[in-house]
A and B are shown apart, each in its own frame.
Chain A
Amino acid sequence: MAGTGKAHLRDREDTIIRVEDLVVEFPAPGGNKVHAVSGISLDVAPGETLGIVGESGCGKSTTAKAMIQLPRPTSGSVEFKGQDLTMIDDEALRQLRTDLQIIFQDPISSLNPRRKVGEVVAEPLRVWGPSDKDEQVRRVNAMLEAVGIDPAVAREKRPHEFSGGQCQRISIARALVLEPQVIICDEPVSALDVSVQAQILNLLEDLKAEFNLTLVFIAHDLAVVKNISDRVAVMYLGKICEVAEANSLYENPAHPYTNLLLGSSPVPDPLAQIDESSVDEGELPSPIHPPSGCRFRTRCDRATDLCSRVEPEIQRVTDEHYVACHFPLVDLDQEKQDFVNEDAAAAADNDSDEVDQNEVSIGGESNE
């Protein structure tokens, strides 16, 4: 898996957010570095929902937070409406952030327990909104109503008087009150019960239509991400494996890691085939010393010597499906394939087994 390459990026004019070569590193003991995000590129079109999915430690939250410069990334650029957020000063960033809001995973800890719900939702307006108090109240009420909370009852209550699902809706109201263009949702339903999760997902869809929002939605649950997203990016250990239109990704996964994720996710159907063979497949390697070449190779049954030497670049499968793998599970676009073939042939000189694997991967239409 790679992540280098920008084949999947669309024209600048068509996007509202464009992330290029984003790198986020954190210091680790002993002078080491945690390579949380290692050179990824992504873009989001206006009105689109981009889902980012992956296991814990894959860098999905770090990527989302880096988009709003929390903290500022180590290198790379984040363009929002044509402006590079990494280049502008703090004051300009502060003003731009009114258009970029975020919702966090734990709805209860993201609300100040000592303030009334009315105050919590009005806080962004105190900083940026109209000075007219009545207008502020009117907007807070409208927003609480939009998320299905009765403002007359809720305004004077404190967060602990609400359930987890209600608190998450209050957080959404607070994020929406400045009428932003983009909302980053960092695992917004992971802490909720399944019955409440459905309500929040439906609500986000409604609000997206009502307020013309663009969403970046992060979750570890593949089914949740598919439900809400137009486009999905699969991340592994700080890199992008695959970016595709949501239905295409799930019907024809091209990356072995996407396939592993899909095969592992529990299906509420007793007749679904469970692959019981995997009892001891690997776990996520350390992000301090990530594997060379393709970072997924240590857990991949298709990995060859080529994967340890050369990091695969993102290549086109179809116009709305891109994958970063030397031996993808579906056919690639012919012209883009030359690079792989040449390199695979070179690698095959060392080990004849690899030729077979390459042929299998290119010959096999898909695994569906």
Chain B
Amino acid sequence: MAVEFDNDVGFEGALLIGWANVGRERIRCLAGRETINELPGFTHATAAEIRSRKREIFEELKPEFIRKIEGRQLDRSTIPSVTVYWRDLPAHH
């Protein structure tokens, strides 16, 4: 089933938060500062920089969210969630 994403992307200082929809299931997509700082161009990005470019960052991470959702690698959480960690990024595979 296709993974589709909401347009809303939030950032609260440490975590980037978006939402994916797989059929009727809604899955929260999370990435922390540590992961974001591994992305090219964001190595030393401050919280304010991440906040202002959060949609661009989320776009970059979408393939990893899709991979985790399709692999059912969900977090142990009351809200269905997937978290992309720095070790999940292609450069660390």
- Chain A partners chain B: no
Please list the residues of chain A having a beta carbon within 8 angstroms of any beta carbon in chain B: none
